[in-house]
C-alpha cells in the first residue's frame, strides 16, 4: 500500500529546512537540493510542493509573517483607545522581536530577505508589505494605548525604527541586546509615546 503523504506536514518540513538554511547560509544557500538534504526528502517531493525556487523562497517569507500573525492574534489589535496598558502594548509588540529562539530565527530569516531585496527585485514586494504590516501593528497598538491621533504616526515610526534596530542588534554579531534589555527599551519608548516616564 502506498504511503499516505500529509501535504501540510511535508510543507512544514520543507519550510523548517528552508528556515535553517537561510539562518546558516543566507538566501543564496537555499536551493531544491540543499532543502532536500536538510529536510531528508527527495528533490521530487520539494518540486511537487513548490514549482520553483522563487515560490519556495516566497513561501518561507510568508511563513514568517504567518507565524507572527498567529502570535499577534492573541492580543487586542482593534486600536480602540484604552484597550492597552503599557505592559500589554509591550507584550503585543514583543511578538515581533527576537525575544526567544523561535522569534530570533524568524527575525533572522526576515532580515535575510530584507537584505536580499536590496539587490533582488523578486523579494521587494514581500518585504515592503511586511514592513507596512509592522507599521500598521505598531500604529494600532499605540492607538489602543491612547496615544493622541495627531501623534500616533510619528510615534509609530520612532518605535518601529527602534524595534528594527534592536532586532538587527540582537540577531547579528553586531551587538548583544538581551531579551530583558529589548523589553525595557520598548517599554520606555511606549511610556514616552504616552507622555509618561514611568
For the packed helices 101-116 and 53-72, what is the interaxial angle rounded to 10 degrees?
140
With 90 as the cut, is the pLDDT of residue 5 above it? no
User: In the CATH scheme, what is the homologous superfamily, with its name and number, of domain 1-51?
Assistant: Homeodomain-like (1.10.10.60)
**How many residues are present in the chain?**
198
- Please tell me what DSSP assigns to residue 40: T
User: What does the pLDDT read at residue 196?
Assistant: 64
Place of cell 503599557: 86
Q: Rounded to two decimals, what is the model's pTM?
A: 0.87
- The dihedrals phi and psi of 72, each to the nearest 5 degrees, come to -65, -25
d(CA 45, CA 60) in angstroms, rounded, equals 16
For domain 62-194, the CATH superfamily is: Tetracycline Repressor, domain 2 (1.10.357.10)
Name the least confident of 12-16, 77-81, 128-132, 173-177: 173-177
pLDDT at 53: 86
pLDDT, one tens digit per residue, over 36-80 is 999 999 999 999 999 988 889 889 888 998 999 999 999 999 999
Of 113, 89, 100, 98, residue with least CA distance to 167? 98
Task: Output DSSP code: residue 77.
Answer: -
> Has residue 89 got a pLDDT over 50?
yes
Domain ranges of the chain: 1-51, 62-194
Q: Look up cell 496598558; give the residue.
A: 85
Amino acid at each position: 500500500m502506498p504511503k499516505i503523504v500529509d501535504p501540510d506536514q511535508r510543507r512544514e518540513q520543507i519550510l523548517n529546512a528552508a528556515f535553517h538554511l537561510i539562518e546558516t547560509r543566507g538566501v543564496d544557500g537555499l536551493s531544491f537540493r540543499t532543502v532536500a538534504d536538510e529536510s531528508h526528502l527527495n528533490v521530487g517531493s520539494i518540486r511537487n510542493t513548490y514549482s520553483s525556487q522563487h515560490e519556495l523562497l516566497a513561501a518561507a517569507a510568508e511563513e514568517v509573517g504567518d507565524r507572527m500573525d498567529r502570535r499577534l492574534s492573541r492580543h487586542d489589535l482593534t486600536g480602540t483607545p484604552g484597550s492597552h496598558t503599557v505592559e500589554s502594548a509591550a507584550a503585543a509588540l514583543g511578538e515581533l522581536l527576537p525575544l526567544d529562539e523561535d522569534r530570533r530565527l524568524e527575525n533572522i530569516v526576515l532580515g535575510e530577505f530584507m537584505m536580499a531585496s536590496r539587490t533582488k527585485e523578486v523579494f521587494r514586494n514581500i518585504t515592503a508589505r511586511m514592513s507596512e504590516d509592522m507599521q500598521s501593528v505598531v500604529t494600532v497598538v499605540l492607538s489602543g494605548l491612547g496615544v493622541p491621533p495627531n501623534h500616533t504616526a510619528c510615534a509609530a515610526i520612532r518605535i518601529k525604527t527602534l524595534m528594527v534596530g534592536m532586532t538587527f542588534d540582537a540577531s547579528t554579531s553586531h551587538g548583544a541586546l538581551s531579551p530583558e534589555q529589548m523589553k525595557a527599551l520598548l517599554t520606555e519608548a511606549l511610556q514616552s509615546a504616552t507622555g509618561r516616564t514611568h
